[in-house]
Amino acid sequence: MATKKLEFKHGQFVVYPTQGVGKVARIEEQNIGGQKIQLLVIDFEQNNMTLRVPLDRAEISGLRPLVSAKKMDEAIAVAKRAPGAKRMIWARRQAAYEESINSGDPMKLAEVVRDLQRRSAADTMTFSGRQLYLRALERMAQEFAVLNKMDVDSAAEKIEEILGIPKEIDLNATEEDEEEEFEEDG
């Protein structure tokens, strides 16, 4: 069964596995080593980075178009499930989580979010676990944000809301802050 060759166009949002969501700025031709090569120029605004990927190597590099809204809903459903068994030592799980995050696959990102999310306000996370969780959530939120026409922070909050993840307790909040929140709600 032949696979359909991916086509990219100017202005299209794409996902590069290790960087997240970017936008195709242009397709340019460069002379490299005596050969003319077509390059996709992708801007990653959130990282202030531009990436050039040879067009004929785009699929091999893992570059892909955004998933559909239906596929994103499926990924969120995966993140809602009970966490997977934690039978490996942390170092191996951490390596597996890193691999999943860098795969760019929304289902694998959802699994990392599912396994590392806090289930109650009393749950605590290790620093490295929290960093992995936030990276996976951000990558998911980048794609969710484009699909739902919102900014990444709002998308991350919305995903956590959908998953029922409790808000973090602000240990630096003062009584005045709490009173102001009460007055706004009241």
Which strand (E) or helix (H) includes residue 137? helix 127-148
CATH number of 69-163: 1.20.58.1290
Residue-wise pLDDT tens digits, 30-85: 888 889 999 999 999 888 899 999 988 888 888 999 999 999 999 999 999 988 77
**First vs last C-alpha separation in the chain:** 62
Residues 6+ apart with CB under 8 A from 130: 116
The closest of 19, 12, 140 to 73, measured between CA atoms, is 140
Angular region, 81: left φ>0, alpha ψ -120 to 50, beta rest: beta
> What sign does the dihedral 131-132-133-135 (CA atoms) show?
positive
Which pLDDT band, with edges at 50, 70 and 90, does 86 fall under? Answer: confident
Residue-wise pLDDT tens digits, 135-179: 999 999 999 999 999 999 999 999 999 988 877 654 454 555 445
Where do the structural domains in the chain lie, given as residue ranges? 13-65, 69-163
Q: In what order do the strands lie in the sheet with 64-65?
A: 49-54, 35-44, 20-32, 13-16, 64-65
Euclidean distance between CA atoms 117 and 133, whole angstroms: 7
3-state secondary structure of 80: helix
Per-residue model confidence (pLDDT) at position 7:
83
Per-residue model confidence (pLDDT) at position 171:
45
**How many CA within 13 A on the CB side of residue 29?**
3
pTM comes to 0.80
Which one is the CATH code of 13-65: 3.40.640.10, 3.30.1490.20, 2.40.10.170, 2.60.40.10? 2.40.10.170
